[in-house]
Chain A
Amino acid sequence: MNLALLRGLLAAAGARGTRAELRAPEAGSCCVVLKTPARTKR
């Protein structure tokens, strides 16, 4: 459910390149993370 929520949010916000993924739960954190490709230096 959290994953679907975040994916909907990113789509509506036009956050291209940022993606929501599931990750194993850890203390103090639920299991959806947002990932953005690393920027390359020029």
Chain B
Amino acid sequence: MPGTDLESQIAVISLLDEPIRRGLYLYVAERRCEVGRDEAARALRISRALAAFHLDKLVQQGLLDASYRRLTARRGPGAGRPAKLYHRSTRQLDLTLPERRYELAGRVFARALTAVAPAARGALQRAARAEGRRLGADAMNAGTTPPASTVRCGSGIARSTPSPTSAGPWCAG
């Protein structure tokens, strides 16, 4: 069992070095809804047993959460067991080597900005918009396409976007 938080995070990230496991994690993370073993296996073109093995590994390390739910309206005897479904956990990894605490620095800056509000609020909005424009221009120069469609999942209506500290400008972080 890893000791420090840094060691723990390295252990979790190293779990994703395995290509199939990484593929499963990315698939589930991007779906924005619960994913069953069958669906995950089909998506990665692997066996259901292999998908189940890796998905459960990801649950053990806290990268995914699991729940059980019946996927059909059938109830009672013969209805079968509820399906095990997976979704991305809320666990957040923030690994930098050498170790830096950018989130802590961000909180300090946010507190300072709040103290001098409301003038700082406008400056913060302008800075965020300028940074967004920079990211968008970079993406255009790199030939990356902007988000083109809404991801629909169950009753969900749209694709969520990450905070500025998440990976990628518009991945479903």
A interface residues (Cβ-Cβ under 8 A, vs B): 1-15, 18, 20, 23, 27-30, 32-36, 38-39
Cα A26 to Cα B70 in complex, Å, equals 23
The contact of A2 among B87, B146, B158, B161, by CB within 8 Å, is B161
Query: CB-CB contacts of B129-157 with A at 8 A, as 1s and 0s?
Result: 11111111101100000111110000001
Q: Which residue of A lies closest to B121 (CB)?
A: A1
| Chain A contact residues: helix, strand, loop or mixed | mixed
B interface residues (Cβ-Cβ under 8 A, vs A): 32, 87-90, 124-126, 128-137, 139-140, 146-150, 157-164, 166, 169-170
CB pair B125–A4 under 8 Å, yes or no, is: yes
Cα A28 to Cα B69 in complex, Å, equals 19
Cα A24 to Cα B29 in complex, Å, equals 19
CB contacts (< 8 Å) of A14 on chain B: these are 136, 140, 146
CB pair B161–A32 under 8 Å, yes or no, is: yes
CB pair A9–B136 under 8 Å, yes or no, is: yes
CB pair A2–B90 under 8 Å, yes or no, is: no
CB contacts (< 8 Å) of A30 on chain B: these are 160-163, 166
Name the residue in B87, B147, B161 with the highest tally of chain A Cβ atoms < 10 Å from its Cβ. B161
CB pair A12–B163 under 8 Å, yes or no, is: no
CB pair B135–A9 under 8 Å, yes or no, is: yes
